[in-house]
Amino acid sequence: MNRSVLKWYPRIAAIALLAFTIYVCLDTFVLSTKWSPEGGENQTLSREDLAASMAVDKPTGAADPSPTPNANLTTEPTPTPSGEQQVVSNDHYYSDGKITVTISTARAYNTDFYIADVVVSSPDYIKTALANDTYGKNIKAKTSDTASQNNAILAVNGDYYGARETGYVVRNGVLYRSSKTEGSDALAILADGSLKIVDENQVSCQELMDMGAWDVLSFGPGLVIDGEISVDEDEEIGHYQHNNPRTAIGQIGPLHYVFVVCDGRTSESYGITLLQEAEFMKSLGCVQAYNLDGGGSSTLYFNGNIINKPTADGKTFGERKVTDIVYIGY
C-alpha cells in the first residue's frame, strides 16, 4: 500500500468522523430547517363546518364521544355570550362572558402546582400556535413570546414536535406530519372542543382527522382516559427520572378544561411522576387528561405573566424556547 495513503488515511478518517459528528449535532440542536406540511397550506374546511359535520355524522342513539361531566362535580356556571360584556381581569382571574379563566395554586407531593380552570363558550377559543408561525426543526420561541404574538389570554407549552421526526402534527386543521411514533399516545382536540386520546399504533392521523380532529399533539402518555387513570407506576418518558416539572391538559366537561403546570428539580418543588400527575388530574375531575412536554419546557402563561417557575436544571430559572404552544384566546 502506498506510504502516503498510510500516512494520510488516519487524518482524513479522523477529520471525516469529526466533521460528520459536528454536522449531526448542529443539525439536531442548532440549524433551523423549515419543513413543508404534508397536507398543504390550504384548509378546505373551517372549524365551524367541521364541527357541524361531526354533529351530522353522529349516528342517532350512539354514545356521545364527548366526555360527560363528572357526576360528583357541582354544576359549573356557563358564560353566556353577550354583545357588550365587561372584562374582569387580574392576576388570577379573567372573564369576558365568552372565556373564563381562574388561576389557583395547590401543593402536593412536595411540589407546587398551578391550575388554570378554563370555561369557554366556543371551541374556537382553544387553539394551538407554532413558534414564529413556522413549522420546522429548531424553530423555537419562548412560550410567552408565542403567546403574546397570538394575543393569548392563557398558554402552556405544547408537545415540542420539532424535537422529533415522527409523531402526529395537526394544527388548526392543517396536517403537518402523519408519521406515528411507536408506542406513543396522541391527543386530538376535535372541532367541537372535545379531547380524544388515542394510541398512535391503533389510530392513524388521517383517521383522527376524519373524526374531526382540529389539532393533534404527540407527546403523552394519556393520563386519564374516559375517567380512568391510564398510567402505572413504571411508565415514564423514555428513561427519564421519575420526578420532573410537568405540563398537562385535561377536560372536565364540554368546553371546560384545566391546564396544569407543576414545578420541579428544586428544593422547594421536587417534581412529580406521571402517575402522580394522573392522580392529580383525576382529582380535579378530568375525564380526559394528557401529558405534554415537561422538564424545562413546562411554562404557564396568563395575562402577560409567567405563573410558574420554569427551570431546566433547578439552579437557573427562565423559559426554555419551545416549538409550539396550546392557548386560550381569540
Min dist. Cβ of residue 242 to other proteins (A): 8
- CA neighbor of 199 nearest in space, from 183, 214, 215: 183
Q: Give the position of cell 431546566.
A: 312
Cis ω for the linkage preceding 221 (within 30 of 0): yes
State whether the Cα torsion 292-297-302-304 is positive or negative. negative
- Alpha carbons 324 and 206: distance in angstroms, whole number: 21
Q: Does 275 bind other proteins (CB under 8 A)?
A: no
Q: Does 104 bind other proteins (CB under 8 A)?
A: no
- Judged by CB under 8 A, the chain residues 242 through 271 that form the site for other proteins are 242, 244, 265
Q: Does 330 bind other proteins (CB under 8 A)?
A: no
Q: Does 163 bind other proteins (CB under 8 A)?
A: yes
Q: Which of 48, 91, 165, 210 binds other proteins (CB under 8 A)?
A: 165
Q: Does 1 bind other proteins (CB under 8 A)?
A: yes
Q: Which of 34, 36, 172, 240 binds other proteins (CB under 8 A)?
A: 240
Q: Are strands 256-262 and 111-120 parallel, antiparallel or unpaired?
A: antiparallel
Q: Does 61 bind other proteins (CB under 8 A)?
A: no
Q: Which of 70, 121, 122, 166 binds other proteins (CB under 8 A)?
A: 166
Only one of the segments 22-30, 128-136, 185-193, 255-263 lies at the binding site for other proteins (rule: CB under 8 A); that segment is 22-30
Q: Which of 21, 32, 68, 283 binds other proteins (CB under 8 A)?
A: 21
- Alpha carbons 295 and 12: distance in angstroms, whole number: 40
- Alpha carbons 243 and 110: distance in angstroms, whole number: 11
Q: Does 46 bind other proteins (CB under 8 A)?
A: no
By rule CB under 8 A, what string of x and - marks binding of each residue 107-136 to other proteins?
------------------------------
Q: For 233-262, give one letter per residue: b (16+ CB within 10 A) or e.
A: eeeebeeeeebbbbbbbbbbbbbbbbbbbb
Q: Which of 15, 19, 23, 148 binds other proteins (CB under 8 A)?
A: 23
Q: What are phi and psi of 247, to 5 degrees?
A: -130, 135
Q: Count the site residues for other proteins by CB under 8 A.
A: 32
Q: How far is CA 105 from the centre of its chain?
A: 20
Q: Does 20 bind other proteins (CB under 8 A)?
A: yes
Q: What angle do CA 153, 277, 111 make, to 5 degrees?
A: 80
Only one of the segments 12-20, 61-69, 202-210, 321-329 lies at the binding site for other proteins (rule: CB under 8 A); that segment is 12-20
Q: Does 179 bind other proteins (CB under 8 A)?
A: no
Q: Which of 19, 27, 49, 105 binds other proteins (CB under 8 A)?
A: 27
CB 150 within 8 A of CB 129: yes
Cβ-based neighbour number of residue 148 at 10 Å:
13
Min dist. Cβ of residue 133 to other proteins (A): 22
Q: Which of 46, 148, 241, 305 binds other proteins (CB under 8 A)?
A: 241
Q: What angle do CA 226, 283, 250 make, to 5 degrees?
A: 50
By the criterion CB under 8 A, which residues form the site for other proteins? 1, 5-6, 9-10, 13-14, 17, 20-21, 23-25, 27-29, 160, 163-166, 237-242, 244, 265, 295, 312-313
